[in-house]
Chains A and B, each alone.
Chain A
Amino acid sequence: MADDVRRWSDELARDPNSLVFLELGETLRRQRLLDVAHKIALRGLERHPQNADAHDLIARIAVDRGDLQTARERWATVLQLVPGHAGALKGMGYLSFQEGRLTEAEQYLSHVAATDGGGDDRVTSALATVRRTSMSLPAVPEPPANAAGAETASESLPHDPQCLFADLLVDDAQTALLLDAGGYVLGGIYLDGDGADVSSDVGAQLSGITDEVRRAMRHLDIGEWRSITFETQVAVVAMAPSADASLVVVAASRATPLGLVRRLLERCGRRASAWLERGGAE
């Protein structure tokens, strides 16, 4: 591999117009030498601005750097230059999935699968993941003005408070709680890695954050708070105020895209409002 890098570098030095920068940049990217790979790719692109693979390379480097905005722009350019470019379609599918746009992700990946005849196992696997996630998150229309009431009418609410959010959660690593103003658990359940119910402890600890948030809101002049999201080493946690000064808390594994967590929070918030409006567990 080192020999290849040296050979390609020499070739590029001899002939700066050579397309070998694509292989060199990709190899350096895989070696996690992202700054060098980016420089090589940009120089190549300056000489070959209409080369779709050069834009594709920059997009992949951008993803590795966590710069999803640039990646999206580059892959959009690739698809303008070469509609149906497999790398760009896969990339756009990945980005859409990360941002929780599952329908869009499925469209991109289906396009690739149809183009290559289903021969790429990674595409098939990614498509299956997107479809599985889509099925777990059935489409819910945008909430009407009286969202709580509408949801009550359209679904039967669980009577067991612990099962309040069970059907909304996508996998075992996701959990949701409804807490009252004092931090006591009203509904939902939070299980730790060993399967123990730690709802009360976690609820009490996390509800304390909202006191600090309310205090801050009074002084910051940015209106009422709508949600707070934070990423920790092991989880993504999102919280939002609900009816009767209650609080909805959703947690998911760190690998869960933020967009999905926030979408889950909205669903759980609507469920909580409807449930409380009905009178809770009655």
Chain B
Amino acid sequence: MTPPLRPIVDGLTRQRGVRASLVVSEHDGLVIESSLRFGQDGDRVAALAASMYRKARLSAAAACLGAVAFLQLDADRGRICAVGGRNDLVIVVVAEPGANVGLIRVELFKALEMLA
């Protein structure tokens, strides 16, 4: 049985510096559940993050590096972190540039366990 996803994304969004968290289908980039701060476009983030994660997974596999567990993208005005590997689901967090990414990573893996 699939666990309720709402508490998972809400828990992630409560982390300091997190603007949005989403559970996304890696296959089609559609939002399955999301928790967004004001001003975030969930559909757009979901589609692009899922696409990036998928590309990273395929490229890493092609380079014989094995499955991708965690992905972090740093940009001038924000960060995107993602974990995946459970039933086509990817959990995505959009955070401020100064957010504690170590903590976010830990919380993402905990959330992934909850999806198992």
Contacts and interface: CB of A to CB of B under 8 A. Distances in A.
> Chain A, interface size: which category?
35 or more
A170 to B, nearest CB: 19
B59 A226 contact: no
Given A206-B63, A213-B73, A224-B76, A230 B68 contact: yes
Contact of B68 (A216, A217, A219, A232): A232
B34 to A, nearest CB: 15
A206 B59 contact: yes
Contacts of A192: 64
Contacts of B63: 201-202, 205-206
Nearest to B60: A232
Contacts of A227: 73-74
Contact of A209 (B44, B59, B69): B59
A228 B74 contact: yes
Given A209-B56, A217-B75, A233 B106 contact: no
Interface string A237-275: 100000000000001000000100000000000000000
Given A192-B64, A231-B69, A233-B69, A205 B75 contact: no
Interface string B93-111: 0100000101101100110
B24 interface: no
A131 B43 CA distance: 48
Contacts of B109: 66
Contact of A219 (B48, B55, B64, B105): B48
Contacts of A216: 48-49, 51-52, 73
> Chain B, interface size: which category?
35 or more
Nearest to B53: A230
A192 B64 CA distance: 9
A67 B72 contact: no
B7 interface: no
Given A223-B75, A226-B74, A208 B68 contact: no
Nearest to B72: A229
Chain A contact residues: helix, strand, loop or mixed: mixed
A228 B74 CA distance: 6
Contact of A234 (B66, B75, B103, B106): B66
B52 A69 contact: no
A3 interface: no
A139 interface: no
Contact of B71 (A224, A226, A229): A229
Identify which of A202, A212, A226, A234 gathers the most chain B CB atoms within 10 Å of its CB: A212
Contacts of A212: 51-52, 55-56
Given A66-B106, A66-B109, A205 B62 contact: yes
B59 A235 contact: no
B56 to A, nearest CB: 5
A233 B61 CA distance: 10
Interface string A60-96: 0000001111000000000000000000000000000
B76 A226 contact: yes
B65 interface: yes
Interface of B: 44-45, 48-49, 51-52, 55-56, 59-60, 62-80, 94, 100, 102-103, 105-106, 109-110
Q: Which are the 9 A-B pairs with shortest beta-carbon distances? A: A223-B76, A233-B66, A222-B78, A216-B48, A212-B55, A223-B77, A205-B63, A222-B75, A205-B62
